[in-house]
Each structure stands twice: as C-alpha cells, then as structure tokens.
Chain A
Amino acid sequence: MTQVRFLFRRIAFYAVTAWAAITMNFLIPRLMPGSPENTVLSRFQGQVSQEQIDAVKAQLGVSDAGILSQYGTYWKDLLSGDLGLSVSYFPGEVSEVIGQGVWWTVVLIGVATAISFVLGTLLGVLAAWKRGSRLDALLPLTTFLSAVPYFWIALVALSVFGVELGLFPLTGGYRPELEVGWSGEFISSALSHSVLPALTIIVSSIAGWLLGMRNMMLTTISEDYVLVAEAKGLRTRRVMLGYAARNALLPNISGFAMSLGFIVSGSIVTETVFSYPGIGFLLYNAVLNNDYPLMQGIFLIITLMVLFANFVVDLCYVVLDPRIRQEA
C-alpha cells in the first residue's frame, strides 16, 4: 500500500510541476518586457499569410482576446502537438525542428549520465572504503573538476584531442555527407563524433556522484551492522557492496533530481561547443536568431524530459528501498 501511495504522490507532484512549467512557458512572453513580436514579424515580412501572423501574435501574447481564453487556446494547441512556427527554420514547425534534434540529446546525455553515475558511484565506494590510501588524491581533483564549467572542459578536450592529437572530429554529430540512418558507416561516424561531448559530460559530472557516494559511505561504514557483518567473517567485497554501499546508494539516487538539472544545463552548453545537432545547440541558435517560439518549445521539451527522467528514478527508488515496499 505504501508503495502505491508513494507512487501516487510522486505522480501528483510531477503532474503539478508539469502544469507549472507549461503555465510558466505561457506567462514568460506575456510578462517579460520588450516586444518580441516585432522582431519576429519583421523577419516574417512578406512571407506569411495573415492567418500565420495572427498565430505568431497569439503565441507571443499579442492578442485582443482575454488572458484566460488565450490560455485555453494555448493548451488546445499544446495538446494537439502544435508548438507554433519556427522563425529561423521558417516555415518549419517548432515540433518538427525539435523532433530532429531531441534524439541526439537524449542518447548523448542518457549514455553519458549512466556511465558517469556508475563510474562515479563505484569510485566513491572505493574512495570511502580505502580511505587514507592513494585514492584520497581523487578528492582535490574532483573538487576542482566539479567547479570547472562544462564548456571549458569541452574547449580543452576539443583543442587537445581534436586539434592537437587529431583523434576525434571537431564539430557536428556525424559526417555531413552521410545519410542519417541505420547504416554502419553512419553509426560509426556518429559514435566517433559523440566521444568528446560525452567525455566532457562524464568528466564534469562524475565529481558530484563520487563525492556524494563517498560521504554517505563514510557514514554507513561506521554503522553497527557493518561492524557485525565484518565480525561475522563475511567477505570484504560483500560487506563493502552489499552492506555499506547498498545503504549509501539511496541518498545518492534521491539527489538525482537536482543533479540532472545541472547535467542537462551543462550539456546544452557542451553541445554548442561541438555544434552537436541536439536541442541544446538548437536552443542556442534559437536565442541568437530571436526565434522565440522555438526557444519556448525547447524549454518545455527539456523540462518535460527531465521530469520524466526523475519519475523513472523514483520507480527505481521503489525497487531499491524496502521501506517503501513494505506495508507500514
């Protein structure tokens, strides 16, 4: 029962958060100073029908209709998947433009975050278990790495591995002459293009997992049940992973929500350094071109994806934490 109640409460929370983000997205163009519609319309000059002009105006909050009816229209459009027209990819629809970029980002951030989480957590376990050994040298290093901006690591990685050593391609997500598809050539090209961006994300985000895990491990190691487990003569590995690490893992996972926001933020800038064809690079171009509809569409999609990822993590939490599974 508690399990169901926990899940129900989390779903309710994500529903409210999604509503808040969607509403914020509606309010931002209406509350911020300036008149974006002029910028947008001057770019559209002579290319669009009156109907499309009205649509752009309505989206940016220039409308004679009352705010509530605008809000209603906004929801209706949103639910039918209509995010408006992009300015910079005119006459492309925002939803189409995002659809092309989103998978690049999902795969890049997904894989990089998974590697970083597993590696960072394992290193954190070791750093805590072998405290006082040479592994302690990881601490100042990770402190430094956690404070370095992602994009700077990206720049350094690019100049060292890309330019000096020539190991990896410098920009883009694949060789431009290739056709996007499931051909071996395309996949290997996409892989080699993704190494440096992924490496940047891993190097920058690993510190958080490592330090969080180490600090929690140090707390669980001094618990009585670990002492008992050692006294019983269990193997070191079993005590370390099954007793100390397993209990230290939960707080590290519950810190996921905040970390993911940071990682996604860092990845957006990383994508622009490598001109990686994901939605971070799209967002950058949207802002440069005053493409307000695209900008907002991307904000919305990123937020909803982060919410979804957090929900998945909550599901894992239910599996991992027996306190939620058991009936109270």
Chain B
Amino acid sequence: MAATATIVTAETAPAPAKARRGIPLLRSGKALTGVVIFGIFILLAVIGPWIAPDDPSQTGGPVLQSPSGAHLLGTTQSGQDVLSQVLTGARTSMLVGVVAATLATALAVLIGVTAGYVGGWTDDILSMLTNIFLVIPALPLTIVLTGYLEGGGWFPIAVVISVTGWAFGARLQRAQTLSLRNRDYIKAARAVGERPWRIVTVELVPNLGAIIISGFLFTFIFAILTEASLSFLGLGSMTTWSWGTTLYWAQNSSAFTTGAWWWYVPPGLCIALVGASLSLINFGADELMNPRLAPVAKRNRKARRAQRRQAAAAGAAGKEATP
C-alpha cells in the first residue's frame, strides 16, 4: 500500500512544478543533446536550399572527386556537388517528416481519443482498426500505394506515410485516455453537464500533451525513414532532392564499390542523426516520467533536487493557502 501511495504522489507532484519552471525535459543531458541536434536540422531544412553552394542537379563539375576546398563533400559521378544535394535534400526530408507526422498524429488523436473516451462498440471497432494497421507491415503497403501514384512530388508520399503510420500513436492515445477518463476532474466536468466535445478538447487533450508529443516524434522518425527508403528504391518523388534520392543515385552508380564514401555517408548520417536526436528526446521524456530509467549517478542527485523542489513547492502552496 505504501508503495502505491508513493507512486501516486510521484506521478502527480511534478506536474505543478513543471508548469512553473520552464521545461524540465531540457535538464536531462540526453534530451538537451537531442533538442540541439534536432534544432540544427530544422534550421538546415529552412535555410539549406539557400546556403547550398551550387544547384544540386547541376552537372559538369569534376567527376567523383573526394572532398576538397572547392567541393566540401566531394562530387558525384556526374559532377554534382554532394554538399548542395545534402543541404537541399534536408528540406524535402524534414518537410515529409513534419507533414506526415502532423497528419498521422492528428489521425491518431482523433481515433485514439474517440475510442478511449466513447468506449463501447465504437471503441471495439476503432481498436480493431488500430490493431489491424499495427500488424500489417507498413512499408510493403506504402510501396504498393505509391506504386499506384504516378508522380506528384513529396506531398502525396507524406499523405501515404501518414495513412500507414498513425496506428502506433492511436494506441498510445487510447490507453492514456482510458486512464484519464475516470479521473475526478473529468467526472466533475461530466457531472456539471459539460458537453462531451468540450470535455474532450478542454479537459482531456491538453493532459495528453506529453503522449501526443512522444507519438509525434516516433512518427517523425518513421516518416523520415520511410521516405528515405522509398526514395532509395526509386519510388519517391524524383523531381525533388531528398537524402533518399542522393542515396538512390549513389547506389545506382555503384558509389560503394568504387569507394566514393563521401557520396553515400553524409545523407545516411543526416537521416541517422535526425532519428537519433528524436530518440534521445524520447529517452529524456521516458526518464522524466519513469525515474527508474534515469542514469544511476544522476538519480540520487536528481532525487535530492526533487525533494528540495517538493519541499519548496509545499512551502509555496502553504503560503498561497494562508491568505
């Protein structure tokens, strides 16, 4: 019994502190590293195409040159500047990630929250739908769907990715909604006759925030990897440059058998860094929510700090209560 009691307080106590003191997530070294790396790539996505030294498609430069002052990341088999391709590709890759993750998250919240809140046969059907999409392997489905799309740029691809990638988030949202549904404040809102729509949008969804963001980050990784795979297979949008497109050409010109590492290493590293940065942010969030996962050495320090904070918060609360 004592154990459950401490868990409950541990779960509920940090919430007010969180609201008062900025973003606790950034106190975790992992999460901070993740946020910084991710921020750099967001910046690259915005300014990349502008700061690219050359037109990424422009041929005619020296062929298959290793990195040098003139071409910082070397050149491709047709004399294109690899750095320009990576910088220009950043925008498409990140854009597909953002758009697909946004659409998929919206879909996930809609389906997951509805299933969890409404319950009954609505829940049965929506959960079934979610589980079906979870089990069906996403990439073959995405490949078949894009196979029927004829051209059309990156946007239809982002839409297809969101259609195949929403289920994971929906399951998270549903589980969390189920656990929130019977909390006192929701019951109170229902008791005073709030409309279901208002309860969901004002009381429920804001409290799903952390889960929604975590789902968004996972979907973002999924989307970037899927887009890269599709482009790498030559099934993506061939009219725009993305990291996957560069890898496709590198593979097609056997860059890896001729030892042209500067051609295929940078775009792959970019994909990996974006993915790793998002995983780091998610780890940080996990450790914040489940202190058992936090690194040992820091844990004691953190625990002490948390105790102090709790004491301070209790003191503050006491003060607020007196007048």
Contacts and interface: CB of A to CB of B under 8 A. Distances in A.
Interface of A: 13, 16-17, 20-21, 24, 28-29, 32-34, 36, 131-132, 136, 143-144, 146-152, 155-156, 158-159, 163-164, 170, 215, 218-219, 222, 224, 257-258, 260-262, 264-266, 268-269, 272-273, 283-284, 286-288, 290, 292, 295-296, 298-299, 302-303, 306-307, 310
Interface of B: 3, 128, 131-132, 134-141, 143-145, 147-150, 168, 221, 225-226, 228-229, 232-235, 247, 250-251, 256-257, 259, 261, 264-265, 268, 271-276, 278-280, 283, 286, 290, 292-293, 295-297
Given A16-B132, A156-B268, A288-B234, 4 more contacts: A21-B132, A261-B134, A284-B233, A303-B137
Given A131-B296, A295-B147, A159 B251 contact: no
Given A32-B149, A287-B235, A155 B251 contact: yes
Nearest to A139: B283
Contacts of B271: 147-149, 152
Contacts of A170: 257
A32 B145 contact: yes
Given A159-B259, A287-B235, A306-B136, A151 B272 contact: no
Contacts, number: 163
A303 B275 contact: no
A287 B233 contact: yes
* Interface secondary structure of A, over-half rule: helix
Contacts of A310: 135
A306 B251 contact: no
B156 to A, nearest CB: 9
A149 B225 contact: yes
Contact of B264 (A13, A136, A152): A152
5 contacts: A148-B268, A149-B229, A292-B147, A303-B136, A306-B135
Contacts of A21: 132, 136
B292 A218 contact: yes
Contacts of B168: 258
B299 to A, nearest CB: 10
Given A28-B144, A33-B149, A261 B137 contact: yes
A141 B154 CA distance: 31
Nearest to B128: A16
Nearest to A284: B233
Contact of A147 (B140, B147, B276, B295): B276
Given A16-B132, A265-B137, A302-B140, A159 B256 contact: yes
B229 A298 contact: no
Nearest to A305: B137
B68 to A, nearest CB: 21
A306 B137 contact: yes
Nearest to B235: A287
B185 to A, nearest CB: 28
